[in-house]
Structure 1
C-alpha cells in the first residue's frame, strides 16, 4: 500500500469515527428527554451516513450529493449530524481542485437553504429537536430560518476555503518536489555529460602521448638494432634517446592520471606542452630517421589551450608519418599564425601507400581538437606519393 493510499484510509477512518461520535451525542440528547425525537429515523440516517463515508472516496460526486440529501432529511426529522458529511466533502474537494470546490459549495449552499427551511418548519411545528419542544412563536420563524441558513452556509464556506488553502499548499509542495527532482535529474545528466567529455579528453591526450612516444621509441630501437654492429656509438645514442623518450612519456602519463584524480595538483595549462616545444618535437622525429623541416610565420598569441592544441596536432600528424609512411624523403611542417586564424600544414613526400580502411584514432582526435576552435581539417594522399594534413583554427572569439 502506498503512503498516499494509507493516508486516505486514515482520513476516512477519522471522518467515520468523528461522524459517529457526533451522531451518537446528538442522538443521546434527542432521546433522553421526555419530549424525544423518534429513534428510528436517527438510526436509519446514521447507517446511511456511515455508508456515505465509505463510498465517498471512490465516488466523490455521488457521495456529496448523498450527503446534501441526508442533511436535508436530517434537518427535517433527525438530529442534523449529517451536516458534518457535507462540510467534510467540501473540504476534501477543496484539497483536489479549487474550481470544482466552488461549484460544490454552490450546490451545498442551495441545499443548506432548503434544509434550513425544513429545520425552521420543524422548530415551529415539530417533531421535537434534541429533546426541545416546538416553538409556538410564529413571529420568530423567519429569524430562525435565516439564522440556521447563515450558520450552515458559513460552515460550508469555511470548510471550502480551508480545503482550497490546504490543497494549494499541497499542490505547491508537490510542484516544488517535482521541480527539485527535475533539477536533480538535469544535474545528474550534466554531470554524466561532463564526465564523458572529460574521459574523452583524457583518452585523446593519452592516445597522442603514448602513440607518439611508442612510434618514436620503436623507430629509434630499430635504428639502434640495425647499427649496433657497424656503428655502436650511434646505436648507443639511439638507445639513450629511447630511454629519454620513455621517461618523458612516463612523466606526461603521470601528469594526465594525476589531473584525473585532482586537477588542482596538476593543472593542464601549466604543465602541458606548448608551441615553443615544437622545435624539440621536430628534433625527436629527426633522430628517429624522419627528415622534418619546420617553417613558422608569426607567433602564437592565444592561451595555453590553443598552444596545446597546435602542439598535439603537429605531434599526431608526424606520428602518422612515422608509423605509416614508406620511404619518406621529406616532411614539411608549416605553422602560420595570423590575427584571426592559425594554419597548420604537415606534408610528407614518400612512396605511395594503400588507402587506409579506417580513418584511425589519430585523425579523429585532430578533427575533434580543430572543431573546438571552429576549425577545418583536410587530410588525404598527395599525388605522386605522400600525405598531407591541413588544419585551420579560428582564433576569433565565439
Structure 2
C-alpha cells in the first residue's frame, strides 16, 4: 500500500511538472510571436527579442527542470543550474525590456519557472530583482510602459511582485503538502513493516506454545503411561508373578507407542488427534481413562450425555486434551482410587445460550488450592496442567475452574458455549 501510494504521488507530481512544461513550450513561442509581430521594430531588434525571450525557457526545459528535486535542502532545487537560469532570466528580460517594454508579460512564463527551480523566498527575490530592473530601464529611458509614465512602471512592477508572491505561496503549499504526505506514507509503511515483523514473531511464539501444549498433551502423557506400564510389567516378570498380566501390559505399551507415533505424525501435519480420527469423542475419552486405569490402577466412571449436539472438531479436541491432562495429573499426584468424568449439556440461564459442561472429580489426597498463586499455577510439575487446560478452554470462549482441599480430592470444571444444534450425538456419533 505504502509504496503504491508514494509512487502515485510521485507520478502525480511528475504529471504536474509535465503540464507546466507543456504550457511553457506552447505559451513561450506564442507570446514571443505576439510581441514581435505587433511591435514596429527593425528586423534585428525583433531577432534579438526572439533570442532574449526564448532563451530562458529553453534553458529551463533542457537544463533546470530535469535536475530539480522537491526534496532539495538548498535554495535552488537544481543546484548551480538554477542560479545560472535565474541570472540568465533577469539579464535577458531586462535587456528585452530595453528594446520593447511589452516584455513584462513574459513574467507569466518566467515566474512559474522560477518557483519550480527555487524555494519560495529565493524565487520571490529573483522576481523582485527582475522588476527592479524593469523600473531602472524605464527610469533611464524616461520610457513609457503601456502609455504611462514612470509611476505606472513602479505600480505594475509592485503588482507583479505581489501576485508572483501569491502564486508562489500556493505552489509552495502544494509542494509542502505533497512532501508531507509522502513522509506520512513512508512512516506508515515503516510502522506496518514493524507491525508485520512483530505479528510474525508473535505468530511464531504462539505456534511454539501450541506445539509445546500439544506435545505435553500427547507425547509426554503417552510416555508417562508407557513408563508406568513398563515398570509394572518388569516387576511382574522379575517376580515371576503373572506373565499373562505382564504380556497384557506389554501389548498396551505397544498400542500406546503406536498411537504416540500416529499423534506425532498428526502433530507435524497439524491434523486431528488420532484418537478422534479412529472413533468418536466418547470412545477417545474412554480409551484415555482406560490407559490411566491400566497404568495407574485408578478406576474410572465416564458419562457422556447421549443427546449432545454435534460438537465442532476444535471443541472435541479441547475436551479430549483437558481429560488427557487431568488424567495424567491424577495419575502423577492424586493417589486417587477412582475418577469420575461427566460430559453433559446444560441449558442456558433464562433461555440463554446452552453450554457444554465437563466435570472431572477424583477421590485423591487433594491440595490446598488457596495456597497456589498464578505464578505457581504456570510452572511445570505443580500447575502447568491447570494453566494449559485454562488456555484451551478460554481459547474457545469457555470458562475453567478448579477446587480442591487436602484429603477431599480435586474437582475440575470446564464450561464451553454451544452453538444452536442441528443434529445430536448418540454414543459419540453424529445422528440426524
What TM-score, normalized by structure 2, do the two folds share?
A: 0.61
Q: Using the alignment, how far apart are the partners of 1:353 and 1:29 within structure 2? A: 99
Could you report, residue by residue, the CA deviation over 1:161-193 in whole angstroms, capped at 9, with x for unpaired residues?
A: 333333332222222222222333233333333
Query: What's the CA shift for 1:308?
Result: 0.8
Superposed counterparts of 1:260-279, under 5 Å: 266=271, 271=277, 275-276=281-282, 277-279=284-286
Q: Which of 136, 143, 148 lines up with 1:140 in the alignment?
A: 148
Superposed counterparts of 1:237-256, under 5 Å: 237-256=248-267
- Segments of structure 1 that go 5 or more residues without pairing to the other structure are 36-79, 94-100, 127-132, 260-265
Q: How many residues align?
A: 318
C-alpha change, 1:334 and 1:122, in structure 2 (3 Å) is closer
Structure 1 residue aligned with 2:31:
none
SS state at 1:286 partner: helix
Structure 2 residue aligned with 1:290:
298
Q: Are positions 1:375 and 2:383 aligned together?
A: no
Q: Are positions 1:319 and 2:328 aligned together?
A: yes
- Segments of structure 2 that go 5 or more residues without pairing to the other structure are 1-68, 99-106, 348-353, 378-382, 421-432
Structure 1 residue aligned with 2:186:
177
Q: Using the alignment, how far apart are the partners of 1:221 and 1:268 within structure 2? A: 24
Query: What's the CA shift for 1:124?
Result: 5.1
Structure 2 residue aligned with 1:191:
200
RMSD across aligned positions (CA): 4.3
C-alpha change, 1:341 and 1:298, in structure 2 (3 Å) is farther
Q: Which of 312, 317, 332 lines up with 1:308 in the alignment?
A: 317
C-alpha change, 1:373 and 1:26, in structure 2 (3 Å) is closer
C-alpha change, 1:146 and 1:249, in structure 2 (3 Å) is same
Structure 2 residue aligned with 1:337:
345
Structure 2 residue aligned with 1:393:
416
Could you report, residue by residue, the CA deviation over 1:74-108 in whole angstroms, capped at 9, with x for unpaired residues?
A: xxxxxx9xx98x95599524xxxxxxx9xx99xx6
Superposed counterparts of 1:5-20, under 5 Å: 8=72, 12=76, 14=78, 16-20=80-84
Could you report, residue by residue, the CA deviation over 1:285-339 in whole angstroms, capped at 9, with x for unpaired residues?
A: 222222111122344422011111111111111111111132x322111222235
Contact 2:340–2:361 under 8 Å retained in 1: yes
Q: Using the alignment, how far apart are the partners of 2:265 and 2:89 within structure 1? A: 84
Q: Using the alignment, how far apart are the partners of 1:177 and 1:292 within structure 2? A: 63
Contact 2:75–2:118 under 8 Å retained in 1: no
Contact 1:278–1:311 under 8 Å retained in 2: yes
Contact 2:229–2:294 under 8 Å retained in 1: yes
Structure 1 residue aligned with 2:360:
346
C-alpha change, 1:150 and 1:332, in structure 2 (3 Å) is same
Structure 1 residue aligned with 2:119:
92
Q: Using the alignment, how far apart are the partners of 1:29 and 1:175 within structure 2? A: 41
Q: Using the alignment, how far apart are the partners of 1:178 and 1:389 within structure 2? A: 50
SS state at 1:295 partner: strand
SS state at 1:200 partner: helix
C-alpha change, 1:121 and 1:347, in structure 2 (3 Å) is closer
Q: Using the alignment, how far apart are the partners of 1:145 and 1:182 within structure 2? A: 54
Contact 2:236–2:242 under 8 Å retained in 1: yes
Q: Which of 152, 160, 164 lines up with 2:169 in the alignment?
A: 160
Q: Using the alignment, how far apart are the partners of 1:152 and 1:345 within structure 2? A: 88
Contact 2:138–2:153 under 8 Å retained in 1: no
Q: Are positions 1:365 and 2:388 aligned together?
A: yes
Structure 2 residue aligned with 1:216:
225
